[in-house]
Structure 1
Amino acid sequence: MTVIEMASLKLPSSRLGEPDKLPTFHWQQPIPVNSTPENRGLSDEESAHGFQWGDSSILPYRVLNDYDRSQRPGTLEAIRIENDHLRLSVLPKHGGRVFEFYDKRLERDLVFRNPVFQPANLAALGAWFSGGIEWNGLIPGHTPFSCAPVFAERLETERGPILRLFEFDRVIEAAWQIDLFLPPDGDQVYVHGRIVNPDSHEKLAYWWTNVAVPMSSGLRVLSPADYSIEHVLPGNELARFDFPHGHGFDGSYPENWQNATSVFFRKPQADRRWIAALDASGVGLAQTSTRELRGRKFFYFGEASGGQHWMDFLSLDGEGRYLEIQSGITPTQNQRFVLPASGIVEFTECFASLVGDAHDVHQADYASACAATARLVERRFDEADFADVDAFLRKVASTPGKRLQSGSAWGMRHERLTGKAIAKGLNFDVEAPVSPWDELASGSGSSQKSLEAIPDDFVVSPRWCAALCESAESQGQTWLHSLVLGIAALDDDRYEEARALFSQSIAIKPTWLGERNLALLADDQIAEEHYRRAWALPGAPPSLAVEIVEFLQRLERFNALNAFIRTLPAPVLTQERIEIARAILALRQSDFDTLQTILERQFATIREGETTLDELWQGLQIGLAMERLERELSGEEAAAVLRSNPLPKHLDFRMLAASQPASSNKDQNDNHG
């Protein structure tokens, strides 16, 4: 029989703090927007409902940027799914991630099981960790629930128990659901996805399932492909290329890619959708699905030093290598799909081990190897059996289950605000402290308690803003009404309206957030004044000091930057971005001892592809050489110094090989969300 029960995983874990109190507006995201992308050679299907990374709002979600690399002994709460053939461990407090997928017959994990929990700055909301199977929707990128709880339920059926995971997305205002089914005597895991739009107008949404598999020498990724599409730098563009030899090497072997790469397999008329990652012996993980999941892709960090460091940085030295195989509703990850008005989008996936003949699956001719693997897939995933389980999972998808873990209160609040259920069979009720948004959803005015302090969460959607406006008309415009409506206006690029609302808010009650938001709208000189007033007001979080430091640094106001940093209390000085600003000041002042000391630390929150530490290291080495020689260096001398003092691994977060120019056709985008 199949067992579903609560469990725990003991493993070294780094600290993950609370979400940032500063709202992050769409234009503050770290992904640069390319306003004129060139999607070269793509079909209408591959371009439909396209978007640009970094151009979409993540509000009202809050960024997770407070974590470290402590890796102290820790425990992750899990839900175990097990029978005689397989064992899965699911993390309900981390997005429902399948952390472990152990095949008892093969005596191996079919997914990359990270030996540690180590957040890093790779998701739209910041903190993300590698390994396992993650469910990414309904906004682009890694799920906003990567490091947050989701609802988990156990559903009893005539075929055995099902583990249900679900949540309400606050941006799309729709529900997503994943039902995990391990048949009692089966050695395959079925995953049924259900996305429900509770509104009477269509929406655009996003979905990709990401599976991390162990990376090894000789591993090959196979999926039906007449050609492929890759992400290309600069500009986050998409380009069609002949697969697998479009770049002069066999691109189906990830280790042939020097730089981080995303490769989308394209065979629009394929009879069946599947993907497999098979090691040198022909053994690995395979996935197939119903036709709703049209996209297949692999992502690899690449063989260059930066990519290799990234994988170990997310894990342990020498233990972090993995590859992602992915499936999505759209052909590429630069697209959204249509979620019909009052409609449902459903799909079923199946995951299992695949054991093939190494000679067959590693034939030099990709088409022949792919055909051999397709035959294995047909035998492993019998089409009639798969259709039968798919029909069963669709039938029970709206049957309520028994609660194992609660998620956020926002689905419940949405239902109270709208007066109707979000999705049949999904129970969003939770016990949570009363917030201003519960008062708003119930139609009551803001209590005195709610007006005493800035809330941790905000609302920005038109539906919630309309309720705020109605509340302001009946109760009178409070500082909180103006502040929150101003946040929504600013994220929607209605700058003058936002400025008036923030000014109105601080006129009623000065707050650090009101002053900070005015700083974002002011010219440089006035912005600095707003920032300083914000920092002086009660409750200002350390992240505000970080934003002020980055503001002064960006404007190259180094004297003001130095003076501001000197006023900061010791706990705030430990913030990584302030440490980096101190390093920049030290380099400018030729204070190489301080710079060297700062660069010895382990940085936890560096963004993928960020080269700040690389530049500081180069400045340090050239500066030390100039100090020794007591003169400037020639270009050749500087290059020789850098060759003799290569970038240390702990500072190398580059996503491109250091020897390749940005225009190389092998330079890949690192978008693996």
Structure 2
Amino acid sequence: MTHIRTERLALPVSRLGPANPLPIFRWQQPTAANPAPPANNLSADERKHAFVWGDASILPYRVQDDYDRHLQPGHLDAVVLDNGLLRATVLPGLGGRLASLIDLSNGAELLFRNPVFQPANLAALNAWFSGGIEWNGLIPGHTPFTCAAVFCGVVETDEGPVLRLHEFDRVREASWQVDLFLPHGESRLYVHGRIVNPNPTEIACYWWTNAAVPYRPGMRVLAPADYGIEHVLPDNHLERFALDAHGFDASYPARWNAATSVFFRKPDADRLWIAALDDEGRGILQTATSEMRGRKMFFFGTGAGGRHWMEVLGRPGDTEYVEIQAGIAPTQDQEFMLPGGGVLEWTECWMPFALDAAAAHDPCWHAACAAVRSALDAQIPAQTLGAVDARMRAYASMPVSRRLHRGAVWGHLHEILTGRPVASGLDFDAPPDVARLWAELAATGQFSAESLAAPPEIWVAGDLWQQALLDSSAQHGETWLHALALGIIALERGHTAPARAFFERAHALRPNALSLRNLALSEGDVQAAERRYLSAWDAPDAPPQLATEIADWLLRHDRIAALRRFLSGLGPDAERHERIRLIRARLALLDGNLDLAEHWLDYDFATIREGETALDEIWSALQITRASRRLGHTLSPEEERAALAAAPLPYRLDFRMVREPRAG
């Protein structure tokens, strides 16, 4: 029989502090919203509902940027499913991540089980950690629930218990759920996904299931494909290529020397799957019902930057992994549309898989894929998966009988605002916590004196909350909190003039740092914006996180004298953020104080963004300036290359992910 139990996992963990209280607007995101070059060689299906990375809103979520790389002994809450053949371990406090999947017949770990918890800057909200299987929706990128609690409970069925994970996405204002099922007598984990749009209008959605599997020499990733599409950094464009062009077989991760994403494309395939198999033909396979059309491999690459990324995310010597992924759209540069009141469901199957090594590594791509397909059909025919899917769809609307973990209250508040449930079978009841004043607004239509006494830790967005604020203002009078919240919604939507009027009224009703900061962000004049920013910093309620934003703004706008004065007055709470350290390094470089610049770089950085080149740029400028001083003249391009070759970027600073010439 299948058993579900709770555990506490002991492992080294890095500190993950409170979320940043500053609302981060769409143009403040670290990924520049630059449209990629036209992808003329992609099909219409591969271009449909494409989006621009960095252009999507993350409000009302808060960025999680307060962490470091100082691992300490700790614990993580876990839920374990075990049927005697497979054992799955889920982390409900971290997005419901499936951290481990063990084949009990031989003790093999099928997933990359990260031996530590170490956040890094790769998710939609910054903090992300590697390992296991993650559920990525409903906005592009690694889910906003990566480092957040989700609802978790048990659904009792005639076939045995099902473990449900679910939450409410605050940007799309829709629910997602994942039901995990280990049938008695099967070495297969079934994962049933369901997205429900409770709104009367159509919404854009996003979903990818990402599995990290341990990399082993000789590993091959196979999936039905007539061609591949590479997601090329740094401009996030898609490039179609032949999988075996010029002797380069893209199915072997080790042949990619820099970080790469490859989408496997066979538009006419009658069944899709993806498998990661070692040199002996053993590993893991995923297949799914027809709703899941995309398949992808991701690898950080064999270069120094990729290896460093994996070590930063894990532990040296125990870090290398490859991701195999499956999504609803053909590529990850696309969303899909869900009509008002619509529901999308699918079922995945994850299973240990073995194939004759010679067949798995047949030099002919199509022959190797045919061998996998034949073995897959023998083990789980498509009609068998379809039958499981039909049963899981019936279970998907059943309520949990035993709750194991709570998520956030936002789905419940959405139900209060609309007067109807988000999705059948899903319970979003949870303590309000940081959402207390918004729960108060939803329930009573106004803010209490207690709620008006201090700035909230979290904000709201969307038409429903905007209308609730407007109705409350009309019925009970506008407070500083009404004006500030409405201004944030307006500014995010690009309505600058109304937003500024809201912020001015909010500050007049109750002087506060956030109104001044938002006025600085919406100011067209640089000098006026500087005055607003510095006034915001002088306000008694200025959060320490504001220091990094101000210092970065002063540097980008060449307000160097003001930046020096600002940095000289920082307190320890603001000074400790490593982004201040990076700004000090750039400032020292501007001053020509090369030893001081190198001093500021002598640090184990934790929050470098995926694809960010700041450390490489500072180091390169430092070495070129040093060589120029030594030689007494401005360097030629050849001399610059020689200087960088003589003093290469140190491994601890190497986060480079850009594609280099392919290895053969």
- The TM tier, using the shorter chain, reads over 0.9
Is the contact between residue 304 and residue 656 of structure 1 (CA under 8 Å) also seen in structure 2? no
Looking at structure 2, the residues matched to 601 and 448 of structure 1 have their Cα atoms a distance apart, in angstroms, of: 45
Looking at structure 2, the residues matched to 199 and 641 of structure 1 have their Cα atoms a distance apart, in angstroms, of: 59
- Could you say which residue in structure 2 is the equivalent of 1:587? 589
Query: Which of the residues 536, 540, 543 maps onto 1:541?
Result: 543
Q: Counterparts in 2 of 1:28-39, with a 5 A limit?
A: 28-35=28-35, 37-39=37-39
Looking at structure 2, the residues matched to 233 and 166 of structure 1 have their Cα atoms a distance apart, in angstroms, of: 32
Shift of 1:636: 4.1
Q: Counterparts in 2 of 1:266-665, with a 5 A limit?
A: 266-401=265-400, 402-433=402-433, 435-522=436-523, 523-625=525-627, 633=635, 635-656=637-658, 660=660
- 2:453 counterpart SS class: coil
Looking at structure 2, the residues matched to 443 and 263 of structure 1 have their Cα atoms a distance apart, in angstroms, of: 51
Looking at structure 1, the residues matched to 219 and 114 of structure 2 have their Cα atoms a distance apart, in angstroms, of: 19
Aligned-pair Cα RMSD in Å: 1.7
Residues 43 and 571 (structure 1), Cα distance of their counterparts in 2 relative to 1, 3 Å cut: same
Shift of 1:36: 5.8
Aligned letter for 1:70? H
- 1:542 counterpart SS class: coil
Looking at structure 2, the residues matched to 461 and 248 of structure 1 have their Cα atoms a distance apart, in angstroms, of: 51
Residues 392-421 of structure 1: CA distance to partner in whole angstroms, max 9, x if unpaired? Answer: 111111111121100001011111111111
Looking at structure 1, the residues matched to 638 and 104 of structure 2 have their Cα atoms a distance apart, in angstroms, of: 58
Unpaired stretches in structure 1, ≥5 consecutive residues = 668-673
Looking at structure 1, the residues matched to 57 and 574 of structure 2 have their Cα atoms a distance apart, in angstroms, of: 28
Aligned letter for 1:561? L
Aligned letter for 2:191? V
- 1:594 counterpart SS class: helix
Is the contact between residue 432 and residue 439 of structure 2 (CA under 8 Å) also seen in structure 1? no
Is the contact between residue 51 and residue 334 of structure 1 (CA under 8 Å) also seen in structure 2? yes
Aligned letter for 1:125? L
Residues 467 and 247 (structure 1), Cα distance of their counterparts in 2 relative to 1, 3 Å cut: farther
Greater Cα shift, 438-447 or 163-172: 438-447
- 2:545 counterpart SS class: helix
Greater Cα shift, 169-178 or 535-544: 535-544
Residues 111-130 of structure 1: CA distance to partner in whole angstroms, max 9, x if unpaired? Answer: 11111100000011000000
Looking at structure 2, the residues matched to 561 and 91 of structure 1 have their Cα atoms a distance apart, in angstroms, of: 43
- Could you say which residue in structure 2 is the equivalent of 1:670? none
Q: TM-score, normalised by structure 2?
A: 0.97
- 1:56 counterpart SS class: coil
Looking at structure 1, the residues matched to 246 and 445 of structure 2 have their Cα atoms a distance apart, in angstroms, of: 63
Residues 416-456 of structure 1: CA distance to partner in whole angstroms, max 9, x if unpaired? Answer: 11111111111111123472211221143111111111111
Shift of 1:627: 5.5
- 1:209 counterpart SS class: strand
Residues 247 and 302 (structure 1), Cα distance of their counterparts in 2 relative to 1, 3 Å cut: farther
Shift of 1:65: 0.5
Residues 291 and 562 (structure 1), Cα distance of their counterparts in 2 relative to 1, 3 Å cut: same
Looking at structure 2, the residues matched to 250 and 369 of structure 1 have their Cα atoms a distance apart, in angstroms, of: 12
Q: Counterparts in 2 of 1:221-236, with a 5 A limit?
A: 221-233=221-233, 235-236=235-236
1:17 maps onto 2:29 in alignment = no
Is the contact between residue 40 and residue 238 of structure 1 (CA under 8 Å) also seen in structure 2? no
Residues 226-264 of structure 1: CA distance to partner in whole angstroms, max 9, x if unpaired? Answer: 12222234532222222x123651111111112211111
Looking at structure 2, the residues matched to 597 and 79 of structure 1 have their Cα atoms a distance apart, in angstroms, of: 45
Looking at structure 1, the residues matched to 271 and 248 of structure 2 have their Cα atoms a distance apart, in angstroms, of: 27
> Percent of pairs identical after alignment?
52
Looking at structure 2, the residues matched to 79 and 384 of structure 1 have their Cα atoms a distance apart, in angstroms, of: 30
Shift of 1:594: 2.4
Query: In the comparison of the two structures, how many residue pairs are matched?
Result: 660
Looking at structure 1, the residues matched to 462 and 396 of structure 2 have their Cα atoms a distance apart, in angstroms, of: 28
Shift of 1:615: 2.1
Q: TM-score, normalised by structure 1?
A: 0.95
Looking at structure 2, the residues matched to 383 and 550 of structure 1 have their Cα atoms a distance apart, in angstroms, of: 54
Aligned letter for 2:482? H
Looking at structure 1, the residues matched to 307 and 393 of structure 2 have their Cα atoms a distance apart, in angstroms, of: 41
Is the contact between residue 36 and residue 236 of structure 2 (CA under 8 Å) also seen in structure 1? no
Is the contact between residue 443 and residue 471 of structure 1 (CA under 8 Å) also seen in structure 2? no
Is the contact between residue 40 and residue 239 of structure 1 (CA under 8 Å) also seen in structure 2? no
Looking at structure 2, the residues matched to 22 and 431 of structure 1 have their Cα atoms a distance apart, in angstroms, of: 23
Residues 292 and 625 (structure 1), Cα distance of their counterparts in 2 relative to 1, 3 Å cut: same
- Could you say which residue in structure 2 is the equivalent of 1:201? 201
Is the contact between residue 36 and residue 237 of structure 2 (CA under 8 Å) also seen in structure 1? no
Unpaired stretches in structure 2, ≥5 consecutive residues = none
Is the contact between residue 63 and residue 126 of structure 2 (CA under 8 Å) also seen in structure 1? yes
- Could you say which residue in structure 1 is the equivalent of 2:7? 7
Greater Cα shift, 374-383 or 249-258: 374-383
Is the contact between residue 233 and residue 611 of structure 2 (CA under 8 Å) also seen in structure 1? no
Shift of 1:588: 2.2
Is the contact between residue 354 and residue 380 of structure 1 (CA under 8 Å) also seen in structure 2? no
Looking at structure 1, the residues matched to 209 and 36 of structure 2 have their Cα atoms a distance apart, in angstroms, of: 28
Looking at structure 2, the residues matched to 304 and 248 of structure 1 have their Cα atoms a distance apart, in angstroms, of: 20
- 2:239 counterpart SS class: strand
Residues 300-323 of structure 1: CA distance to partner in whole angstroms, max 9, x if unpaired? Answer: 112221112111111112321111
Looking at structure 2, the residues matched to 346 and 266 of structure 1 have their Cα atoms a distance apart, in angstroms, of: 22
Looking at structure 2, the residues matched to 222 and 509 of structure 1 have their Cα atoms a distance apart, in angstroms, of: 61
Shift of 1:34: 2.4
Is the contact between residue 445 and residue 468 of structure 2 (CA under 8 Å) also seen in structure 1? no
Is the contact between residue 93 and residue 147 of structure 2 (CA under 8 Å) also seen in structure 1? yes
